[in-house]
Amino acid sequence: MLLGNGNSYKETSAYDFLISAKWLDNLDPDMGVDLILDYLFDNLSGMDLRRVSRVTIVHTEDQLLKFVLGGISVSKSITVIDNCAVGNVTIPHAILFECM
């Protein structure tokens, strides 16, 4: 998920990159972040790379992750959400990806 730092696409200048994957669950969090950062540096160009403000690994069993994804349908697609409330969690702007 790319979590925007603004309230909409037009207001967002950078994204927090949150990733959850079973292969990352058993890695040390710092090692997982380093692997993702290496991939991003190898595959993104200057401006795209500057739009990533933070990388966070989220365990696949994280209850908040399950709660948010339980309220938003993302199946083999990309979903853009704006001003979305799931329970008591408000997401002003995000882009959700599902890769299998």
**pLDDT tens series, the chain, 100 aa:** 667 776 666 667 788 888 889 999 999 989 999 999 999 999 998 888 888 888 999 999 998 788 777 777 677 778 888 887 777 777 788 888 875 5
Tell me the pairing of strands 15-19 and 52-57: parallel
Domain, as residue range, for 29: 2-97
Number of domains in the chain: 1
A 10 A CB-CB count for 34 gives 13
3-class state of residue 12 by DSSP: coil
pTM (2 decimals)?
Answer: 0.75
